[in-house]
Amino acid sequence: MARKVNYLNNKDMLLEIHRSKSTFCSYVAPEYAEYDIILTDLNKINIRTVAEAKRNRAKQQSTQAYESAKSAGQKVKMAEFDVDYRTIEKTDLVFRIMTFDHVPLEPGRKNKPKTVADRHAKCNFPPFIHLAWVNDTWKEVVRSHWRGDLTDGKFSVTKGKITEKLASMMMMLCQRYSMRSNWRGYTYVDEMRSHALVQLSQIGLYFDESKSANPFAYYTAAITNSFTRVLNLEKRNQNLRDDLLQQAGQTPSFTRQMDDETAQRKAREVKAEEFHDKMEQEMKDAGYNIIP
């Protein structure tokens, strides 16, 4: 029996999202691109979060060693590659801190700003920095949405791009979703796919790894909303077209005819039921025993 091929999975999508976001960043050194834990504030770095980061780094090293051995054709078990998190040094850890501190303020971008993001320049994904333990202190080693050196560079949202593999994943997801039974019958399904791709290209990197590890669900929800938006727009245009045809004495679309026929049939059924109930009540009033 042939093994089922998994075309899209969260692990690969998370990796490509991370690689795409990395193209928008500036680094002190390339090895700081990978992070071990995501925090919302610098003050949350403590003994507990450091230990959690060490566990994450140990798990990542175990998984990489296991997959390398497996790809080499060896018959191994995951337990053989377990790494003790206590062997991980503090200097090996990288913390991702979600922050807008390096994003310039942009007053007036929102009439009524409600969040921190509304007060700063618009970003194509939540901004962050990476911190590493260097010379007995936490030092910034990576900054998102930045072009050039961390000291003399400047803010930029156009520096990077999504990877070709992530773009292929988006296209495949739209294609396979459009083949579902509730969408593939529409004549404008190509327009649905194109609108969904535009939507994904705009919000694809806005997926926040600190809140979820399921980008597949995030992308699928965006595609569903895009498809539904196109469907509602086409239905509205079709209703306007049918109204104009009927006003001109012409035959409307087959869908309008079927809807009208269904409405008339339901109206007849309701009318017949009401007549039956009325006759039954009159017979009861006349003294007849009605057997249900």
In the predicted model, residues of the chain with pLDDT beneath 50 are 1-2
- Model pTM? 0.80
Which pLDDT score, from 0 to 100, does residue 102 have? Answer: 93
Question: Do 130 and 96 touch, CB atoms closer than 8 A?
Answer: yes
Which pLDDT score, from 0 to 100, does residue 1 have? Answer: 43
Q: CA 101: distance to chain centroid?
A: 25
Rounded to whole angstroms, the Cα distance separating 39 from 45 reads 8
- Angle at alpha carbon of residue 104, lines to 102 and 107, rounded to 5°: 145
User: What are 138's strand-pairing partners?
Assistant: 133
